[in-house]
Each structure stands twice: as C-alpha cells, then as structure tokens.
Amino acid sequence: MNANTDFRMPARRLTATAAATVLAAGPMVLAGAGSAHASADHGRASAVVLRTGLDVSLLNKTVNVPLAVSLNEVRAPQSAERTALTARLDGVDGGQPFSVLRADVASAKATVSASGAEASTNLTHARIHVPGLPLLSLIEVGQVTSKATCEAGRKPAASATLLGGVTVLGKKVTLTVGGPTEVKVPGVGEVRIDFSKTRTTSRTAAASALELHVSVNPLKLNVADVEGTLTLGSVTCESPSAAPASAPASAPASVSAPDIKPQGAPAKSGLAETGGTSTTPFVVGAAVVLLAAGGAAVALGRRHRS
C-alpha cells in the first residue's frame, strides 16, 4: 500500500504542476498581446482677417509710434467675426480713436481634427485707413477670401481669391497674381500690393490674400510718415503628424480565432462551432496533460502490483 502511494504521489504532483503551468500560461500570453496605442498630433491652424505692422512718425520727427493691431486672429479650434477695428495712438489726432477697418463681413475660422487642419478668412466690402488719412481709404476691396487645408495623408493646399473692385488711395487698380502692383499718388504716398501669396510644404500650407507695403506721408493730424506692412486674410495650417507604428494586435479574448488551430489538431476543428474562445487551446492542453499523467500513474501502479 505504501509502495503504491509512493509511486502515485509523484504522478499526482506532476499532473497538478503541468496543469497549473498550462492554465497560468494562458492569461500571461493574452496579457502580453495587447496593442500599443500612440496618440497622434491633430495638427495646427490659424487665421487672421487683418494684421498691421506700421511705424507712424509724428511731424516733429522725434517720436515714432508703432501701430500693431489685428482683427479676428484665431488659432484652432476657434472662430471669430467682427466687422470693425479701431485704434488709439498717443500724439495722433489728440489721442482720439480712429477707424482702421470697417467691413460688412470680417470673419476668421480655424479648426483641427484627427483627419486634418483647416483655416479660412472672409472679408467683404472693407475699407482700411491709416493715421493721417481720415477721409481717404488706404485700400477698399469688394471681397477677399483665403483658405489653407492640411489633410492627413494628402498634399496641403492654399488659395486666395479676390472678387469685386479694388481701390488704393482713391485710384482703381487691377491686381495680378504674377507680381506686385504699385500705386503712387503724388503728395500722398505709394503702396505696393502682392495678391494671393501662397506657399506649401509636405505638411504645411499658408496663404495671404493681400499684402500691402505702405509708404505714405499725409502731413495731417500731426502725422508725417506711415511706413510698414499690412496683411489681409492670412491663414496657416499643419497636417497631423503620423502616429508611431503600433505593435501587432491579437484578437480580443472574447472573440474566437477560427483561422488559428492548435498544432496537431484535425483540419476540421469544432472549437469555433461550440463557442470556443482564445483560451480554449490552453484548456485543451491542460486536459491532455491531466489525461497523460493519469494514464502514467495507472500504468506505474499496475507494474508495481505485478
């Protein structure tokens, strides 16, 4: 009796150890097969209806006053719509506010998402003034729009359009895309205009509907010279960055994998038909080990009796 027990105990221990190893390996394999997720950058976008960078010199030539203002400058995800912009400069017209821009429509919009980034502006029936010229518009436009689109996996695009007439310092002009248009008015000054300036790279796009280089000497309201730049309808965007390659993902634990069969299994396995899951091979393996170990224990017992 004791001899039979001595032979059966190792067999039982072997059986329990093998079964525990197989069953424990199942959850470990499943836990190590999870996919590695990385959050992708959604890109960037910005838009502004009007931006000025002007230096205003007073008549005494001892003071230069910067005029740096913007209307509806937004960064994704934002939008804005205002139709007027005023500014106040010390030493100009007694410090009273003056109108820089008035328009029927002046809107800017910038959005980003996982699929891409986009920015746009729209300016309709607009008049722009600079210090020293309260009655004469620097420029009047019918409608200018700009748009920059940066979609994931596609080449970025930028565009600017001009509809209606354009008047600069009281003179009607025709703008061309090929190069700058210069307007000179004796006793007032000159303006050089670039229309529809766009640039793109593999991931970015930018557009300016109108860029004005201003040099006027109005000699009014204590203003001697106005020099600098003025931009209408400026937009930029950047495509989302590509996400790092993720580790191969296995089928979820609750979903069967009918195309993957245990080694040595018959070609027509009924695991999927009977509701088998990804843990089924481990359960079957444990049963095989238990059966083999049990058979070995029985054989050893019979040999001892004989």
**272 within 8 A of 256, measured Cβ to Cβ:** yes
Q: How far is CA 146 from CA 6, 14, 87, 114, 155, in A?
A: 90, 77, 25, 22, 17
User: Which two tokens mark 255?
Assistant: 């979903």
**55 within 8 A of 64, measured Cβ to Cβ:** yes
What is the rounded CA–CA span in Å between residue 269 and residue 221? 94
Long-range contacts of 56-61 (CB under 8 A, 24+ apart): 56/89, 56/92, 56/130, 56/131, 56/132, 56/223, 56/225, 56/226, 57/223, 57/224, 57/225, 57/226, 57/227, 58/91, 58/92, 58/222, 58/223, 58/224, 59/219, 59/222, 59/223, 59/224, 61/224
Cα angle at 67 between 64 and 68, to 5 degrees? 130
pLDDT at 95: 85
Burial zone of 222 (CB within 10 Å; 0-12 exposed, 13-18 middle, 19+ buried): middle
pLDDT at 36: 34
Helix or strand holding residue 287 (H, E): helix 280-305
pLDDT at 296: 52
Per-residue pLDDT of the chain (306 residues; tens, 9 = 90+): 444 444 344 444 444 444 444 334 343 333 333 333 333 477 999 999 999 999 999 987 778 889 999 999 999 999 999 999 999 988 888 888 999 999 999 999 999 999 999 999 999 999 999 998 888 999 999 999 999 999 999 999 999 999 999 999 999 999 988 789 999 998 899 999 999 999 999 999 999 999 999 999 988 888 989 999 999 999 999 999 865 444 444 444 444 444 434 434 333 333 333 344 444 454 445 555 555 555 555 454 555 555
User: Which two tokens mark 188?
Assistant: 């007032």
Considering only CA atoms, which of 147, 161, 216 is closest in space to residue 183? 216
What is the rounded CA–CA span in Å between residue 281 and residue 13? 22
Considering only CA atoms, which of 118, 120, 124, 165 is closest in space to residue 146? 120
- C-alpha 158: how far from chain center: 16
What is the rounded CA–CA span in Å between residue 213 and residue 190? 9
Considering only CA atoms, which of 175, 173, 194 is closest in space to residue 184? 173
- How many CA atoms within 13 Å lie on the side-chain side of 162? 22
pTM of the model: 0.65
Question: Please, which residues have CB within 8 angstroms of residue 98's CB and are 6 or more apart in sequence?
Answer: 86, 87, 88, 89, 92, 129, 131, 134
